[in-house]
Structure 1
Amino acid sequence: MKTLKGPGIFLAQFVGPEPPFDRLETLADWAAGLGYVGLQLPTGVGGLFDVAQGAESQAYCDDVKGMLADKGLAITELSTHLQGQLVAVHPAYDELFDGFAPPEVRGRPQARQAWAVGQVKAAARASQRLGLTAHATFSGALAWPYLYPWPQRPAGLVEEAFAELGRRWKPILDVFDDCGVDACYEIHPGEDLHDGATYERFLDEVQGHPRACLLFDPSHFVLQQLDYLDYIDRYHERIRAFHVKDAEFRPTGRAGAYGGYLGWTERPGRFRSLGDGQVDFGAVFSKLAQYGYPGWAVLEWECALKHPEDGAREGAPFIRDHIIRVTERAFDDFAGAGTDAAANRRLLGLQDN
């Protein structure tokens, strides 16, 4: 067993134009002041870390890492959620996702994809330079418009979508393998990897690639009505990153899992600040401790109601209080009688002739 590291915080939801949220250095001071000891850094357009520079420059990586260390902070993971999304985009979403890319590749899907692939590969190399072993990302989606089987899906449609997804990601995963870094896909609606079944299908397409790992976020399981504890039992060997995020699901006769196109405050399923939702975090942290999860517990704050600064302030002690310092010995060791092979045979009635 291992004791989880934390508390960490994903900074993507806090970046903004006003101090202290406009620069990594001042964001780091703010986070450290709240009690966080780890930062998950967003990258890409408007991000806090330049993966292209990080992939090539050890000095850049050392400067960022050193600046944070001086404040008592470590980098938990880099994130390429937005770039990972652009590795595979169905044409229906081209215009909506163009904003994730730099202006020079917008309106040019193939150029946008090439940029995204380069970014994710660069993140693997930058992670290696930073001494990280896990990376947070999205899979992208080709089959998402066909999620519900009406009209009836043509035979082979889903199979071809996942085959293509595997073809796009396999070379990227090979770079992660070369760098000794796990690519952790956040299982998330809007991605082709949105539950255990789709993850297994993808894993088949990349021949069980050892770097095709998982970012566990129980909030998305609440909204999909999946068993997030059983998920840990099934996939714990692949879980290498953890977003601590809460959610609630309160269906009515008017709306349920699909949400009725309602806004976030009105949807039956909505994200909440830690402790305000329905996730059993005591059980989640226990499962992860039981299975020896080796990584960080990182707050991802999203809530339809609470102010983000309040959510961040409450998140650090919430995570810290849920981290289980694992025991180094069994609780009943005091009653142990030692090991005696001959005595064991006698107790079992196995007398030697």
Structure 2
Amino acid sequence: MKTIKGPAIFLAQFYGDKAPFDTIDNICQWAANLGYKGVQIPTWDATYFNLQKVAEDKVFAQEYKAKINSYGLEITELSTHLQGQLIAVNPAYDQLFDGFAPDSCKNNPKARYEWAVQQLKWAAKASENLGLTAHVTFSGSLLWHTVYPWPQRPNGLVEEGFTELAKRWTPILNEFDNSGVDLCYEVHAGEDLHDGVSYEMFLDKVNQHPRACLLYDPSHFVLQCLDYVTYIDHYHERIRACHIKDAEFNPNGKQGVYGGFQNWKDRAGRFRSLGDGQVDFKKVFSKLAHYDFPGWAVLEWECCYKNQEDGAKEGVEFIKNHIIKVTDKAFDDFAGVSQDKEFNKRILGI
């Protein structure tokens, strides 16, 4: 069995223009001082990470890795969540998702898509140059606006949507395969890959591509009323990255899953800081240990109430206390006897 690595922290929600969040050096020192052992690094802000340069310059990549290591930290994975979203954007969301693209691509969906593809290809090579084995992203969405269809979906719409999604992602998956890196989709509301069934549909379309893997985050499943523990039983062979994030779902007589267009704190389903929600992390960590999850336990802070710095301080201890240091022996070894084939036959009467 394997002991999960950690605790680590996803830096995306902490970046800012004030110390200690204003530079990669300052934020790494802050994370290390809290007790984190790893950082998951977003790649869309060149202030903290020059994706193209890390992809194209192996020496620079090693220097960047050494900088992170100098703070007693490891890079767990790189993230292209924002760029991955732009691989597939339904026109209904063009204006909203233009904010994820550089100015040169705004109001130009074709250019935006081509930019996103290049970003993902660089991410594959950058991960390889840093010695990483997993990368995290979003799938994007062509179909999400039809998730609860009215009027009903035309026959063949879902089939066509997933065919197109696979067409866009297959060359990218091949790039990750060439680099020896698993591409881990965060199964997430708003994405075409938002639960197990939709993920399986995608897998079928990409011919069960070995690099089409998963980032597991139980918080999204709490909000969908999906069994987040049994999900691990189904997909453990594909889970190669993990966000440790809490959530709660408290439906009432006025609202449920859809949230009534309310802000986060007024929704029935809300993300919370670790320990403040409803996720049974004892079961989650036990399942991950059971299946020899090879990656990191990475805190993702998204709470509608608690300050992010307090969430990070509490989160590091929470993860430390939940990581199971797996045993290398069975509890009843003391009562065992040496292996003897003839002895076993006599016990069986054969």
TM norm. shorter chain > 0.5: yes
Letter aligned with residue 44 of structure 1? W
Gaps of 5+ in 1: none
Distance 1:291 1:47, change over 3 A: farther
- Match of 1:12, SS state, is coil
Alpha-carbon separation, structure 2, partners of 1:47 and 1:103:
17
Pairwise mapping of residues 202-351 of structure 1 onto structure 2 (< 5 A)? 202-350=202-350
Structure 2 unaligned regions, length at least 5: none
- The alpha carbon displacement at 1:347 in A equals 1.4
Q: 1:47 to 1:208 in 2, by over 3 A?
A: farther
User: Retained in 2: the 8 A contact 1:32–1:73?
Assistant: yes
* Secondary structure in 2 matching 1:199: helix
1:82-136 alpha-carbon deviations (Å, 9 max, x no partner): 0000000000000000010110001000100000010011001000000000001
SS of the residue aligned with 1:278? coil
- Of the structure 1 ranges 59-68 and 112-121, higher mean CA displacement relative to structure 2 is found in 59-68
How far off is 1:344 after superposition? Answer: 1.4
Residue 103 of structure 1: aligned partner: 103
1:85 aligns with 2:85: yes
Mapped to 2, the partners of 1:41 and 1:174 lie a distance apart of: 22
Which string of whole-angstrom CA distances, capped at 9 and with x for unpartnered residues, describes residues 282-333 of structure 1?
A: 1100000000000000000000000000001111111011111111111111
Q: How far did 1:50 drift?
A: 1.7
Corresponding position of 1:60: 60
Q: 1:133 to 1:307 in 2, by over 3 A?
A: same
- Counterpart amino acid of 2:51? V
Report the AA paired with residue 41 of structure 1. Answer: I
Maintained 8 Å contact 2:23/2:47 = no
CA distance in 2, matches of 1:118, 1:292: 33
2-structure distance, mates of 1:5, 1:23: 25
Moved more, 61-70 or 79-88: 61-70
TM-score, normalised relative to structure 2: 0.99
Secondary structure of the residue aligned to 2:264 is coil
Amino acid at match of 2:249: F
The reply on whether 1:137 has 2:137 as its aligned counterpart is yes
Q: Distance in 1 between matches of 2:226 and 2:56?
A: 41
Q: Distance in 2 between matches of 1:297 and 1:131?
A: 18
Q: Which amino acid is the alignment partner of residue 308 of structure 1?
A: Q
* CA offsets 1:36-65 (integer angstroms, 9 cap, x no match): 010000011466212111110112211211
SS of the residue 1:104 aligns to: helix
Secondary structure at the aligned position of 1:14 is classed as coil
**Secondary structure at the counterpart of residue 82 of structure 1:** helix
Equivalent position SS for 1:19:
coil
TM-score where L is the length of structure 1: 0.98
Instruction: State the secondary structure of the residue aligned to 2:141.
Output: coil
Aligned-partner Cα distance in 2 for 1:273–1:298: 13
Classify the secondary structure of the residue corresponding to 2:7. strand
String of CA shifts for 1:17-76, please: whole Å, max 9, x gaps. Answer: 111111111000110011001000001146621211111011221121111111100100
The whole-number CA distance in structure 2 between the counterparts of 1:19 and 1:347 is: 70
Give the ranges of 4+ consecutive aligned residues of structure 1 lying more than 4 Å apart after TM superposition.
none
Q: Tell me how far apart the structure 1 counterparts of residues 304 and 51 of structure 2 sit (CA, whole Å).
A: 31
**Counterpart Cα distance in 2 of 1:307 and 1:183:** 31
Aligned to 1:22: 22
Q: Distance in 2 between matches of 1:97 and 1:8?
A: 28
2:94 aligned partner: 94
How many residue pairs end up in the alignment? Answer: 350
Deviations 1:144-184 (A, max 9, x none): 01001321110000010000000000000000000000000
Identity over aligned pairs, percent: 63
CA–CA distance in structure 1, aligned partners of residues 329 and 209 of structure 2:
35
Contact 1:45 / 1:101 at 8 angstroms: preserved in 2? no
| Aligned position for 1:196 | 196
> Helix, strand or coil for the counterpart of 1:13?
coil
Q: Which amino acid aligns with 2:347?
A: L
Does the 8 A contact of 1:45 with 1:100 survive in 2? no
Q: Does 1:176 align with 2:176?
A: yes
Further displaced range: 162-171 or 341-350: 341-350
Letter in 2 for 1:275: G
SS of 2:189's partner is: coil
